[in-house]
Structure 1
């Protein structure tokens, strides 16, 4: 695997972030997604990130189960806005993807922002805290909508992540 996680955008990644990037691809495949997006990065951090990062996310209700619930609520709300009644969970179960998903816009943006956060702190490589900061700083997309619906205080989570980083 290359330093930039097989064409994941941005600059070289720290060893911890590379592991999260690999786990995010598995998350996307597990969810049968054709694209790796920011929600897959956040799910990977909540499952496979370092213990301090996982603890901060869990304290904010963003453990794997809480994050899955927030993403489910976002999907249902988005469908309702479009005038579609959300299908039951049993209809959404699918086999994991075998093909490797491509990088989606929100994941590219999160990885790029993580590098900018690291650069602003004069670090060569971005770490997990930079990635969480970047993901929670996104203004558009599934993650910001899901976190809003879940009532997550994004600035408070970022501040807590910075204290453990």
Structure 2
């Protein structure tokens, strides 16, 4: 297995753990983003950190996005005492559409798999124009396009 295969597997496993912790039925792009942020010593993580996005900051942005989405539907999170997610370690967690699309976008940025770098995977997540990740980044005050440009630059120079 190549280094990028190990990296992708590690991000997917972390994404699955994040999805389970959320009580989600599928690994979505925001779970991949958390997995990328948790993986040490990559240009992808450095790009996120350059924008102040470590794992806790991303989790906080995702929580704000959830609350904001509920309020758009007329539901106040403060008005309800929602129970914490109850992870089920036995439940199978699938791969969601947003993570599939993020992987496809990331892979499409290179001609050959051997040229794929962790920053390409981040770029695939960041290039989504709609969805949880773009909304969460906007609410966190992060310019998604700037971050994507930094990921592109990192991918072009990242040694593997």
Tell me which residue corresponds to 1:112.
104
Q: Match for 1:153 among 143, 146, 154?
A: 143
**RMSD (Å) for aligned C-alpha atoms:** 2.2
Partner of 2:18: 27
TM-score normalized by the length of structure 2: 0.83
Q: Gapped runs of 5+ residues in structure 1?
A: 4-12
- Paired residues of 2:47 and 2:147 also in contact (CA < 8 A): yes
Identify if the C-alpha distance between structure 1 residues 141 and 85 changes in structure 2 by more than 3 Å, giving closer, same or farther: same
Structure 1 residues 69-107: Cα deviation after superposition (integer angstroms, max 9, x where no partner): 111111111101101111489734223232121111100
Distance 1:107 1:157 in 2: 18
1:72-83 matches, cutoff 5 A: 72-83=63-74
User: What are the Cα deviations for residues 105-150 of structure 1, in whole angstroms up to 9, with x where unaligned?
Assistant: 100100111110122xx44463311111111100111111111111
TM-score (norm 1): 0.81
Which ranges in structure 2 are unaligned for 5 or more consecutive residues?
none
Q: Which residue is equivalent to 2:85? A: 94
Where in structure 2 are the equivalents of 1:113-152 lying within 5 Å? Answer: 113-119=105-111, 122-124=112-114, 126-152=116-142
CA distance in 1, matches of 2:47, 2:132: 21
Q: Number of matched residues?
A: 152
